[in-house]
């Protein structure tokens, strides 16, 4: 089929123009060859386009009049069922199911139609799939199931229906040990977190493979409301540590969540100079390493001590300066130097300059005559 004719056919399908689609296909010498052609990089067929745009009349025409196989898949093994579920086209989905489409067919990365429906928060489509035996416990390549995805999106009704359909689904973990509670906390879904805390039996401070807790996820993404829920209703610890010994305080410094830092220190009384136990780093170190100048100022306002000593008697401020240089963060380097750092202690300036690989970092030292 010529490229111009291909574009015309696809456009007619996208716009739902059945008469035009029928006419163009009737003009083809080998109609069956055309309907099973794979278009573009994705390798979609005409049935994929029809299901994606929800045009029932075209889907029915392709399946009933042209006897097209509803299980035809594209380059990612995606079928019409995936398209209808993903885009929330209830009537198309019902029709495909009635014609015998596989409920739990897998596309690339092992995604099912139910998983894709959960990304769109379409309860009607999800209930239709569940009513016809869709399995919420199936996992994709990352170990996520439909419930993890629903908790990421945060629709309370969908979460509750999945729990009704499969009460044990909350117990599942991803391949990195993350629970649906981690997912809901990370994405700031307060309603979802509430349901999970009320209906499920997660252990306080359950950790993933990196030692991260749901409270840490909430804090490092700036979701203070979720963090409060976990503190009040789940006895979460605000100073639990991950596998590197980093607390939520340190993680919030990495992601520059300044309101979360103020909440931890000002409301919860967390020590702003606390160290990550394995790396002996303070929140200032982490902020400097990432080049978060504003976060450094926030930490100083909260009482961070530039001249605190580590276990070997070294001043904290100089390693922070080194980290800023290693990260090539000129503005952060300038801020730390202007805070009063000099060569007088630990030969800090000379050591830091060794890490200044780019001219614009070295220029900072020169401009301040250090």
Give the position of tokens 């630990």.
346
In a domain, 175, yes or no: yes
pLDDT tens across 297-342, in order? 999 999 998 766 656 655 556 677 777 777 778 788 788 777 765 5
Of residues 358 and 121, more confidently modeled: 121
Q: What's the Cα-to-Cα distance from 331 to each of 131, 248, 304, 328, 339, rounded to whole Å?
A: 58, 25, 19, 9, 12
Q: Which among 206, 209, 319, 300 is positioned nearest to 253, based on CA atoms?
A: 300
CA 229/CA 238 separation, integer angstroms: 12
pLDDT tens across 76-103, in order? 999 999 999 999 999 999 999 999 999 9
In a domain, 217, yes or no: yes
In a domain, 119, yes or no: no
- CATH code, 80: 1.25.40.20
Tell whether 91 and 7 lie within a shared domain.
yes
In a domain, 116, yes or no: no
Question: What average pLDDT score do residues 177-187 get?
Answer: 98
Tell whether 233 and 248 lie within a shared domain.
no
pLDDT tens across 38-81, in order? 999 999 999 999 999 999 999 999 999 999 999 999 999 999 99
Domain with 208, as residue range(s), is 136-237
- Total tally of structural domains belonging to the chain: 3
Q: Which among 264, 253, 275, 270 is positioned nearest to 332, based on CA atoms?
A: 253
Tell whether 268 and 227 lie within a shared domain.
no
How many other β-carbons are positioned within 10 Å of the β-carbon of residue 132? 14
Tell whether 327 and 361 lie within a shared domain.
yes
Contact status, residue 219 vs residue 189, Cβ threshold 8 Å: no
Structure tokens at 305: 């001590």
pLDDT confidence band for 134 (50 / 70 / 90): very high
Residue at a domain's end among 237, 264, 280: 237
In a domain, 107, yes or no: no
Give the position of tokens 């139910």.
114
Is the entire prediction scored with pTM above 0.85? yes
Tell whether 154 and 223 lie within a shared domain.
yes
- DSSP one-letter code for 171: G
Tell whether 28 and 57 lie within a shared domain.
yes
Tell whether 154 and 205 lie within a shared domain.
yes
% of the chain residues with pLDDT over 70 = 88
Contact status, residue 239 vs residue 217, Cβ threshold 8 Å: no
Report pLDDT for 352.
62
In a domain, 120, yes or no: no
Q: What torsion, rounded to 10 degrees, do the Cα atoms 287, 290, 295, 299 define?
A: 0
Report pLDDT for 344.
43
Structure tokens at 107: 């596309």
In a domain, 259, yes or no: yes
- Residue 315, beta-bridge partner list: 309
């Amino acid at each position: 089929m010529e490229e111009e004719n291909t574009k015309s056919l696809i456009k007619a399908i996208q716009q739902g123009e059945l008469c035009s689609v029928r006419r163009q296909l009737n003009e083809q010498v080998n109609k069956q060859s055309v309907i099973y052609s794979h278009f573009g990089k994705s390798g979609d067929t005409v049935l994929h386009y029809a299901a994606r745009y929800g045009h029932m009349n075209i889907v029915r025409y392709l399946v009933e009049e042209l006897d097209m196989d509803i299980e035809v898949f594209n380059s990612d093994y995606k079928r019409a069922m995936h398209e209808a579920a993903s885009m929330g086209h209830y009537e198309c989905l019902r029709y495909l199911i009635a014609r015998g489409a596989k409920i739990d067919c897998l596309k690339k990365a092992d995604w099912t139609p139910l998983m894709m429906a959960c990304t769109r928060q379409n309860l009607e489509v999800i209930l239709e799939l569940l009513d016809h035996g869709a399995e919420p416990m199936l996992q994709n390549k990352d170990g996520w199931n439909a419930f993890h995805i629903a908790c990421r999106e945060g629709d309370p009704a969908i979460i509750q229906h999945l729990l009704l359909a499969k009460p044990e689904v909350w117990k599942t973990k991803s391949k990195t040990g993350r629970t649906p509670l981690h997912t809901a906390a990370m994405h700031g879904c307060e309603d979802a977190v509430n349901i999970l805390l009320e209906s499920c039996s997660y252990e306080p401070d359950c950790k993933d493979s990196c030692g991260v807790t749901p409270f840490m996820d909430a804090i490092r993404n700036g979701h203070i409301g979720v963090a409060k829920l976990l503190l009040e209703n789940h006895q979460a610890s605000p100073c639990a540590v991950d596998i590197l010994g980093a607390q939520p305080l340190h993680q919030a410094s990495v992601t520059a969540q300044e309101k979360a830092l103020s909440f931890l220190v000002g409301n919860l009384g967390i020590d702003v100079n606390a160290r990550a136990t394995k790396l002996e780093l303070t929140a200032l170190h982490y902020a400097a390493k990432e080049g978060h100048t504003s976060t450094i100022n926030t930490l100083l306002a909260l009482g961070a001590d530039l001249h605190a000593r580590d276990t070997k008697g070294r001043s904290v401020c100089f390693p922070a300066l080194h980290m800023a240089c290693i990260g090539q963060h000129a503005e952060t380097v300038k801020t730390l130097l202007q805070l009063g750092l000099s060569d007088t202690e630990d030969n800090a300036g000379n050591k830091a300059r060794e890490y200044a690989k780019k001219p614009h970092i070295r220029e900072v030292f020169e401009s301040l005559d250090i």
